[in-house]
Amino acid sequence: MAWPPTVHGPAAYQKLRFLTSPIGLLESCARRHGDAFRLLLGRPGLFVFSRPDHVKAIYTADTEVLRAGEAKRAIFGRLLGGASSLLLDGEPHLRRRKLLLPQFKGERMAMYASRIAAETRAAIARMPVGQPFALLPIVQSLTLRVMLSALLGPEDASSAPLWRAMERFATDAASSRLLMAPALQWDLGPYSPWGRVQRVVRAANGAVESEIQRRRARPNEGRDLLDLLLSSSDEHGASLTDAEVKDEVLTLVVAGHEITSMVLTWLVHAVISRPEVQARIDGELEAIGEHDVGGLTYLDSVVRESMRFHSVVPIGSARLATEDTRIGEHDVPRGAMVNVAIHLLHRRPEIFERPDEFRPERFSVEPRVGPYEWAPFGGGARRCLGMSFALFELKLITATLFSRVALVGLERPRAVRRGAFVAPSGGLRVVVKRLRAARPGSSERRAA
C-alpha cells in the first residue's frame, strides 16, 4: 500500500510536539517528507495533507467515507448531545446544514450589527489606558458575549441566569483542557475537575431547555438566533425538535466564540505591529466610516491575510476514514484520521507569492484564491457554518476598536498552543496609548 511517508521517532514524542508545538512539528515534517505524511498518533495514524489537490479530495469526498462528525465525537461528544450538527454525518448532517445555513447569511447580519458594536464599545471601556494588559482575555469575553447576544438576545434581568449558565458552559466546560485528556475524565463529585465540567454541562442543558419551553409558550418574535432556530423548517416543512434546538444552541457556543477570539487577537497583532497597515486602515475608516463593514475592502483583505498568516488551527478539518480510500496518489486505510495541514497549505509559494511576508494586497487582486488554497474555515460540506458571521464580526469589531483606541504592542508574541488552538504568547500584551475621538457618523456623535 502507498501510504504517505511515516514520520519516524517515538509516538509519545510526536504527541508531545503535536500538543505543544504543532506549527514546529508540521514544518519539520514537511521539510523532511513533503506534502503528505503520517504521524504516529493513534492507529493506524494521523494522515496529514497540504497540497491543494489533496485538500480538494478531502473536502469533496463522500461524507460517509470521510466522516467529520465521528472524528469529533471523542472530544465534543462529552459536551454536546448526539443531535448536534457538529457530530452528525452523511444525510442527517446535510439536512441539518440546509436548515441552519440561511440563519448565517449576509442579510441576517444587520440584526446582529448593533449588538456586536455595543459589546465592542463595552469591551473598550474595560481596557485600562496607559497600563499594560493582555488583550486575549478581554477579547475572549467579548466574542462570547457577541455569540450569546446573537443567540439569546441582549442580556437583561430576566435572561441573566441563562447567560450565567452559558458563560460557565463556555469557560468551564467548552474551554476545559480536560477535553483533550480522556484519561483524566473521572467524575469524582462536584469538587473534582471533571465532575465540575459534567455539572456545568448538565446545568447549561437544563437552562437552555427551560428557555426553549418558555419561548414555545409565546409568539415567536424572530429577534435572535434561538427564535430563528425554533421557527426554521426545511422544504418538506420539517422543523427542529426541542432537543435538536438545544444541542444546536450549545454547539454554536462551543464552535463560535473561542476560536474567533484567537483569530481576533492575532489580527490586532498583525495590524498594530505594522504601521503601514494601521495607517491604511485608519485612512479607510476615515473615508468610509466604521459601520459600512461591506465598504471596508482593505480591512477585509487584512482579515483574510491575517487568517492566512496566523493559523489558529494549524492542523484541522479532521475526518475519520470509515473504509479504505485514496487521497490523490496515497492510500488511506480504514480507521485513519485524515487532517488538512492548514498552516502548510497557507504557506505554499506557488499559491501565495513570498508566503512568509504579510501582504494584504494579495487578497484584493483577481482572481481571488480558491477554496482549496485558503481554508481557515475548513471546507466542503463541513465548512464552518459561521463563516459569514465570523468575517462580519471580525471586521465590525476591528473597525469599532481602531476607530476608538490606538493600541501599542509590548512584545513580539510567539505562537503557543492554547487548548485546541494556537494563540499569541502572553495573550498579546498591549497598552492603550490614547483614546481616539469618535469619528463623524459614529453612534456616539449621532447620539450627541
Examine residue 252 and tell whether it contacts ligand HEM (CB under 6 A): yes
Examine residue 50 and tell whether it contacts ligand HEM (CB under 6 A): no
Query: Which residues on neighbouring strands pair with residue 339, listed in sequence order?
Result: 48
Q: By CB under 6 A, which span of 23-31, 251-259, 272-280, 323-331 interacts with ligand HEM?
A: 251-259
Q: Of 430, 398, 432, 433, whose CA–CA distance to 133 is shortest? A: 430
Q: By CB under 6 A, which span of 12-20, 238-246, 346-354, 372-380 interacts with ligand HEM?
A: 372-380
Report the residue from 266, 298, 363, 389 that binds ligand HEM according to the rule CB under 6 A: 389
- The secondary structure of 101-146 as a DSSP string is GGGGSGGGHHHHHHHHHHHHHHHHHTSPBSS-EEHHHHHHHHHHHH
CB 410 within 8 A of CB 390: no
What is the Cα–Cα distance from 426 to 441, expressed in whole angstroms? Answer: 36
Examine residue 251 and tell whether it contacts ligand HEM (CB under 6 A): yes
Report the residue from 385, 396, 399, 422 that binds ligand HEM according to the rule CB under 6 A: 385
Q: Of 342, 377, 111, whose CA–CA distance to 223 is shortest? A: 111
Examine residue 313 and tell whether it contacts ligand HEM (CB under 6 A): yes
The residue among 226 and 390 lying less far from ligand HEM, judged by its C-beta, is 390
The residue among 281 and 390 lying less far from ligand HEM, judged by its C-beta, is 390
What φ, ψ does residue 130 adopt, rounded to 5°? 80, 0
b/e map of 12-40 (b: 16 or more CB within 10 Å)?
eebbebbeebbbebbbebbeebebbbbbb
Q: By CB under 6 A, which span of 114-122, 382-390, 416-424, 431-439 interacts with ligand HEM?
A: 382-390
Examine residue 80 and tell whether it contacts ligand HEM (CB under 6 A): no
Examine residue 317 and tell whether it contacts ligand HEM (CB under 6 A): yes
Examine residue 377 and tell whether it contacts ligand HEM (CB under 6 A): yes
Minimum distance from CB of 74 to ligand HEM (Å)?
15
Site residues (CB under 6 A) for ligand HEM, limited to 92-111? 97
Parallel, antiparallel or unpaired: strands 133-134 and 415-418: unpaired
CB 18 within 8 A of CB 39: yes
The residue among 85 and 176 lying less far from ligand HEM, judged by its C-beta, is 85
Report the residue from 378, 413, 424, 427 that binds ligand HEM according to the rule CB under 6 A: 378
Cell numbers representing residue 295 in the block: 465598504
Q: By CB under 6 A, which span of 24-32, 308-316, 350-358, 395-403 interacts with ligand HEM?
A: 308-316
Site string for ligand HEM, 9-48 (x = CB under 6 A): ----------------------------------------
CB 226 within 8 A of CB 211: yes
CB 99 within 8 A of CB 91: no
The residue among 199 and 383 lying less far from ligand HEM, judged by its C-beta, is 383
Examine residue 314 and tell whether it contacts ligand HEM (CB under 6 A): no
Examine residue 256 and tell whether it contacts ligand HEM (CB under 6 A): yes
The residue among 57 and 432 lying less far from ligand HEM, judged by its C-beta, is 57
- The secondary structure of 50-114 as a DSSP string is -SHHHHHHHHTS-TTTEEHHHHHHHHHTTTS-TT-TTT--HHHHHHHHHHHGGGGSGGGHHHHHH
Minimum distance from CB of 252 to ligand HEM (Å)?
5
Examine residue 85 and tell whether it contacts ligand HEM (CB under 6 A): yes
Examine residue 86 and tell whether it contacts ligand HEM (CB under 6 A): yes
Cis peptide before 44 (omega within 30 of 0): yes
Minimum distance from CB of 85 to ligand HEM (Å)?
5
Q: By CB under 6 A, which span of 190-198, 313-321, 403-411, 429-437 interacts with ligand HEM?
A: 313-321
Angle between helices 275-288 and 297-309 (to 10 degrees): 150
Task: Give the binding-site size for ligand HEM (rule: CB under 6 A).
Answer: 26
Examine residue 424 and tell whether it contacts ligand HEM (CB under 6 A): no
- The secondary structure of 304-365 as a DSSP string is HHHHHHS-SSSEEEEEEESS-EEETTEEE-TT-EEEEEHHHHTT-TTTSSSTTS--GGGGTS
CB 152 within 8 A of CB 166: yes
Examine residue 379 and tell whether it contacts ligand HEM (CB under 6 A): yes
CB 384 within 8 A of CB 313: no
Question: Which residues lie near ligand HEM (CB under 6 A)?
Answer: 68, 85-86, 97, 251-252, 255-256, 259-260, 263, 312-313, 316-317, 376-379, 382-386, 389-390
